């Protein structure tokens, strides 16, 4: 099974602190890296944590606030020096495309790779649809247009039982068809597929929800996921401030995780006023016990391995 892991590079919010960096998350899926938001210091953090920028295939922007995009000029400029080959796609709104193209034309006029923009809208929809992976967007409620992203593996092929296939006399050229679910038919008899294969690995899913007021219907729109990152900018005692600035409390994030039927909740996007991140996790855990406290350098598997 491919690796499917979340690397936290920045889990602070807009106001800089010595404790946290601005928003940036790397999704490792197999051999590729995908980035969600690119706050200042993103490329340095990638290097620090052993993530080669040359492996990046996609950058997903949730919204156009500085703490989520101001690391992009430096990153693109560095990649343009020869660090990257092939195609890099930035998923953003039409306004983001216009602003970023202008910045890149000045700071990185010559690139060693193809930079592509996929213009999206602030709505629920499908952003990427590939043979093995689908990425959906969900509209959020912030002070500017914003979306969250849901990364969903597609169901793969069944797993061949080589010894059973050999004993049944199945020729090698049939193996692919068996993995695609066909029964074996040699022209005289049929062997049911479930005697020669086992079911495919259950697909995994990750949702990334940043910068939004509490939305009671959001869990239903996200759907059941293995791991949910949902911003936890404030504690419940600052609920009015959260609503004013278009953010959520730890308790509200936990309510979304519970409604979505998420496997685990990952905290983050902490306000500069939060001096103990564990208070955030403690508050969320009262509603949703499977809460993980987030920090820079944390690597989280999307689905926990089964207990032995």
- Selected catalytic residue, list 37, 58, 67, 226: 67
Angle of the 250-260 helix axis to the 277-285 helix axis, nearest 10: 40
Which SS3 state, helix, strand or coil, does residue 188 take?
coil
Which SS3 state, helix, strand or coil, does residue 105 take?
helix
Which residues does residue 137 pair with via DSSP β-bridges, in sequence order?
125, 149
> From CA 41, how far away is CA 301, in angstroms rounded?
23
**Cα→Cα distances 79→88, 187, 297, Å:** 10, 57, 22
Q: Which residues of 44-61 are buried (b: 16+ CB within 10 A; e: fewer)?
A: ebbeeeebebeebebbbb
283 close to 251: Cβ distance less than 8 angstroms? yes
Please name the helix (run of DSSP H) or strand (run of DSSP E) that holds residue 56, with its range, or none. Answer: strand 56-60
67 is a catalytic site residue: yes
> From CA 65, how far away is CA 145, in angstroms rounded?
10
Closest CA to 59 of 24, 85, 8: 24
> From CA 289, how far away is CA 26, in angstroms rounded?
25
Closest CA to 268 of 37, 5, 32: 37
Pairing of strands 56-60, 32-38: parallel
Contacts of 290 (CB under 8 A, 6+ apart): 257, 262, 263, 264, 265
Looking at the annotation, which residues are catalytic? 67
């Amino acid at each position: 099974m491919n690796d499917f892991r979340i690397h936290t590079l920045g889990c602070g919010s807009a106001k800089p602190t010595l404790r946290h960096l601005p928003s940036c998350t790397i999704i490792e899926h197999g051999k590729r890296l995908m980035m969600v938001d690119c706050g200042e210091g993103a490329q340095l953090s990638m290097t620090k944590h052993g993530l080669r920028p040359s492996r990046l295939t996609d950058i997903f922007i949730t919204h156009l606030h500085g703490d989520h995009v101001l690391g992009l000029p430096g990153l693109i400029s560095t990649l343009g020096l020869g660090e990257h080959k092939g195609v890099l796609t930035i998923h953003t709104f039409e306004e983001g495309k216009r602003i970023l193209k202008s910045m890149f034309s000045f700071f990185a006029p010559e690139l060693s790779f193809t930079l592509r923009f996929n213009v999206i809208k602030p709505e629920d929809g499908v952003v990427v649809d590939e043979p093995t992976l689908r990425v959906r967007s969900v509209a959020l409620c912030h002070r500017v247009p914003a979306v969250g992203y849901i990364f969903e593996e597609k169901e793969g092929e069944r797993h061949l039982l080589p010894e059973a296939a050999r004993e049944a006399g199945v020729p090698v050229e049939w193996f692919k068809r068996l993995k695609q679910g066909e029964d074996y038919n040699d022209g005289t008899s049929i062997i049911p597929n479930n005697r020669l294969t086992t079911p495919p690995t259950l697909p995994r899913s990750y949702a990334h929800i940043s910068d939004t007021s509490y939305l009671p219907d959001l869990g239903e729109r996200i759907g059941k996921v293995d791991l949910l990152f949902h911003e936890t900018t404030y504690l419940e005692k600052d609920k009015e401030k959260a609503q004013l600035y278009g953010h959520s409390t730890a308790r509200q994030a936990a309510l979304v995780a519970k409604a979505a039927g998420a496997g685990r909740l990952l905290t983050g996007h902490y306000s500069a006023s939060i001096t103990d991140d564990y208070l955030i996790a403690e508050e969320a855990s009262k509603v949703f016990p499977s809460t993980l406290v987030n920090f820079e350098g944390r690597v989280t598997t999307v689905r926990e391995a089964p207990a032995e």
